């Protein structure tokens, strides 16, 4: 899965794949093998990268995450590459019609915040998906009405699967 990461004023291309229980991470074209485990009952992850051990304290910070590694704090905004392009296109103006919202990446549905028939505002969070130990909100692209909710909490989703359908009018 490809992502766009914004760290301070720098934009990075990130590609993440799971291989043999490890993450294969390409950061701006350079490949890293990462073994990562979340420590129980904390926000700390233990990681092994290129033979070096790191601990990262990862905390939600609005629409980004704050990551502390070896005493250095980083605020990271991470968006799936396709969603970044879609968001840029959506900024061009409202679109009427039916919107089938899919998961930004494979993950676990941790929260469903809407039901069929409910009115929603543009940008309103509809579903929360946990992927790669981060929670991602799937938001309404336009104001409208939820026509169908296709998932429930604890469902496993893929980018190909529709999670919610929203109908908007001009």
pLDDT at 113: 95
Domain end, chosen from 80, 102, 123, is at 80
Q: What 8-state DSSP symbol labels residue 92?
A: T
Kindly state whether residues 16 and 65 are assigned to the same domain.
yes
Tokens linked to 117:
């028939």
Kindly state whether residues 60 and 99 are assigned to the same domain.
no
In a domain, 87, yes or no: no
Kindly state whether residues 65 and 129 are assigned to the same domain.
no
Kindly state whether residues 103 and 162 are assigned to the same domain.
yes
Give the three-state DSSP class for 69: strand
End-to-end CA distance of the chain: 33
pLDDT at 115: 95
Kindly state whether residues 73 and 10 are assigned to the same domain.
yes
pLDDT at 83: 58
| Domains contained in the chain, number | 2
User: CATH number for the domain including 125?
Assistant: 2.40.50.100
Kindly state whether residues 73 and 99 are assigned to the same domain.
no
Per residue of the chain (170 residues), what is the pLDDT tens digit?
787 888 888 888 888 888 777 888 898 999 999 998 888 888 998 999 988 999 999 888 776 888 899 889 988 887 776 655 655 555 555 567 888 888 877 889 999 999 999 999 988 999 998 887 788 888 888 899 999 999 999 999 888 789 999 998 76
Structural domain boundaries enclosing 68: 2-80
Q: Could you tell me if 22 and 33 are in contact, meaning their C-beta atoms sit under 8 angstroms apart?
A: yes
């Amino acid at each position: 899965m490809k992502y766009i990461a914004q760290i301070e004023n720098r934009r990075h291309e990130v590609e993440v794949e799971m291989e043999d229980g490890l993450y294969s991470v390409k950061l701006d074209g350079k490949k890293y093998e990462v073994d990562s485990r979340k420590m129980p009952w904390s926000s700390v992850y233990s990681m092994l990268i290129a033979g070096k051990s790191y601990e990262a304290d990862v905390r939600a910070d609005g629409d980004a995450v704050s990551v502390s590694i070896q005493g250095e704090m980083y605020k990271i905004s991470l968006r799936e590459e396709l969603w970044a392009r879609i968001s840029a296109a959506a900024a061009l103006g409202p679109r009427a019609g039916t919107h089938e919202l899919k998961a930004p990446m494979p993950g676990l549905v941790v929260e469903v915040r809407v039901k069929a028939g409910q009115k929603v505002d543009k940008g309103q969070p509809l579903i929360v998906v946990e992927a790669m130990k981060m929670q991602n909100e799937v938001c309404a692209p336009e104001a409208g009405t939820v026509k169908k909710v296709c998932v429930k909490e604890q469902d496993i989703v893929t980018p190909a699967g529709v999670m919610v359908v929203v109908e908007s009018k001009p």
